[in-house]
Amino acid sequence: MARLLLIGAALLLAWPGSARADEDFFEPVALSMGGAGRVIAVDQSTLRLNASALGVRPKYLVGLSYGQTVRERAHQFASGAYDSRTSEFFLGTVYSFREFEPTLIPEEDLNWFLAHKQDEIHDQRTYHRWDIAVGYAFLKRKLNIGATVRVIQQDMLLRENRTLFTVDAGLTAAPTEFLLFAVSAQNLVPTRDLRYATRLSAGVGLDLDYNPQQRFGVQAEFDVVFDFTTAELPTTDIHAGVSVKILYFAAIRAGFFSDRGFLDNNITWGLGFVTEKFRANFGMAIEAGTVDRRLREDVDADQQRVVWSLGIDVSF
């Protein structure tokens, strides 16, 4: 009976109460470059963020990744592929599985029920997410359009299960071989979930690493993201990062991104082993400054600042 009362009380909570307005997940290259990927196709994150960027460089890519968000005891696995090489028409898909436990303080979230111990109640969620992207490259890949259809199945312990559907759209222009501009919109169909907020972004990228046979290469991106559904007024986030390839095989990456209107500020870094067709990558984000959100009591506070991801991909 007590269990049923707890579940019933949790279901009465306002939906955004424990949701977070940050990005759901980044693959390792995008994560290490400060959440880049809306302008330059750095890895499979681009398929989720702005599908049109996939059309700039003709490529087949298949990848796997795994990541953790310590604060939420989150584990995420992702697998996907895309083809922008066969023709000007390109497409791709990514499936991701995410299991996590949002932070919960019974005395605050269920204030009518006094829990004597933190572990008397917990929330656990499992998300299955499918992203399918399509696009077309015009003018010898100087102008590219793309769209992503997204379906998310949310299986939850303390809330009613839901299935979300939404759509992204984007445009990427490459006036020169190395300079790129992009605009994109995420979650144009409102989801009522702050993890999948409606966003509009604009950014610029510098890609001097488009030839895998180069000894040295540089990629850099900066974008601004306007979030329209997280708060009463639109908020602004930024993502900036750089990747430097050294002596054919090594890549060093660094970046910065903000979430929740600069309430969360993250410094990122990463390493990669890269060849002409194969990459192995690691990326990490560390929240800097004061943590302006709820922390777990059962995990060291400094560890809760960390998000990391690793993955492999093959391209040709």
Which is nearest to 70 in space by CA: 257, 291, 311?
A: 291
Q: What is the pLDDT of residue 300?
A: 87
What single letter denotes the amino acid at residue 269? W
**Per-residue pLDDT at 296:** 80
Residue linked to tokens 């005395």:
107
Half-sphere exposure of 176 (CA within 13 A, CB side): 7
| Per-residue model confidence (pLDDT) at position 121 | 64
Cα 113 to Cα 245: distance, rounded to the nearest angstrom: 56
What string of DSSP letters covers the chain?
-HHHHHHHHHHTS-GGGG---S-S---HHHHHTTS--SSS--STHHHHH-GGGGGSS--EEEEEEEEEEGGGTEEEEEEEEEE-SSSSEEEEEEEEEEEE-----HHHHTTTS--SSGGG----EEEEEEEEEEEEEETTTTEEEEEEEEEEEEEESSS--EEEEEEEEEEEE-SSSSEEEEEEEE-SS--S-GGG--EEEEEEEEE----TT-SSEEEEEEEEEEESSSSSS-EEEEEEEEEEEETTTEEEEEEEEEETTTTEEEEEEEEEEE-SSEEEEEEEEEEES---S---SSS-TTGGGEEEEEEEEEE-
pLDDT of residue 171: 98
Query: In which residue are the tokens 């990669």 written?
Result: 272
> So what's the pLDDT on residue 23?
65
Taking the CA atoms of residue 242, residue 245, residue 249 and residue 252 in that order, the dihedral angle to the nearest 10 degrees is: -40
pTM: 0.88
Q: Give residue 148's pLDDT.
A: 98
Structural contact between residues 23 and 37, judged by C-beta atoms closer than 8 angstroms: no
Sorted by where each starts, the structural domains of the chain and their CATH numbers stand as 2-315 (2.40.160.60)
Q: What is the pLDDT of residues 125-176, one digit of tens each?
A: 999 999 999 999 999 999 999 999 999 999 998 888 999 999 999 999 999 9
Q: Which residues of the chain have pLDDT under 70?
A: 1-23, 104-121
- Strand pairing report for 199-207 and 125-138: unpaired
Q: Judge contact between 241 and 38, C-beta under 8 A.
A: no
| Measured distance between the N- and C-terminal CA atoms of the chain, rounded to whole angstroms | 58
Strands 306-315, 278-288: pairing is antiparallel
